[in-house]
């Protein structure tokens, strides 16, 4: 094994060790103390470390599939920390759906990956008028093409969104139904 692979493997293990991982079993689960979801199949919950500050769940591993929760992002606050301080991803309560999707595009391209919006349409979310967006992302770190879908709504000047992404050839088709059920069950407390 080449030295660079050993170093890369060691870094991945170190990042994973810095994360708190827990199994989310069947039943009601609460995310970020404000969002309730109904879990029918187990997920693994990552907090901190490799997942960063965004609550992230996975079924197959954090580098394979990711279900991310952006819960009650307040007007004037970023949806996530920006790597480039010149491009903060600030949510504004008056934003249109396409402007909110642009925030996620900025988030998912911070590492040099590409993002293509495939579909944006109104959709009920959180028992409110919201929207659904579908996208394709080419991850720069490993040239893996990911499919993704997000559900979002603005309620009370706060944005809440759930975004799922996974490699498009196998994992996305096999996991999207579970992600969709979970998103459809979401309720703010």
The CB-side HSE value for 98 (13 A sphere, CA atoms) comes to 4
Residue 7 in this model has a pLDDT that exceeds 70:
no
Rounded to whole angstroms, what are the CA distances from 138 to 17, 51, 91, 94, 95?
Answer: 27, 19, 24, 30, 26
Assign residue 143 a region: left if phi > 0, alpha if psi is -120 to 50, beta otherwise? Answer: left
* Total of domains in the chain: 1
Domain of residue 49, residue span: 3-188
Q: What is the pLDDT of residues 131-159, one digit of tens each?
A: 999 999 999 999 999 999 999 999 999 99
Which pTM does this prediction carry? Answer: 0.87
Residue 19 in this model has a pLDDT that exceeds 70:
no
Q: Which CATH number do you get for residue 86? A: 3.40.1000.10
Q: pLDDT exceeding 90 applies to what percent of the chain? A: 74
């Amino acid at each position: 094994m080449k030295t660079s692979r050993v170093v890369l493997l060691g870094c991945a293990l170190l990042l994973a060790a810095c994360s708190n991982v827990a199994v989310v079993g069947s039943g009601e689960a609460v995310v970020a103390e404000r969002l309730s979801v109904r879990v029918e199949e187990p997920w693994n919950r990552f907090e901190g470390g490799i997942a960063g500050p965004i609550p992230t769940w996975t079924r197959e591993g954090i580098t394979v599939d990711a279900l991310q929760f952006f819960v009650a992002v307040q007007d004037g606050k970023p949806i996530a920390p920006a790597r480039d301080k010149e491009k903060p991803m600030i949510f504004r309560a008056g934003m249109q759906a396409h402007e909110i999707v642009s925030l996620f595009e900025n988030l998912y391209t911070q590492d040099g990956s590409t993002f293509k919006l495939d579909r944006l349409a109104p959709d009920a979310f959180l028992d409110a008028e919201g929207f659904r967006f579908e996208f394709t992302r080419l991850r720069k770190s490993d040239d893996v093409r990911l499919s993704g879908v997000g559900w979002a709504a603005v309620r009370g000047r706060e944005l809440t969104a759930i975004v799922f992404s996974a490699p498009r050839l196998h994992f996305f088709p096999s996991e999207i139904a579970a992600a969709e059920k979970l998103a459809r069950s979401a309720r703010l407390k």
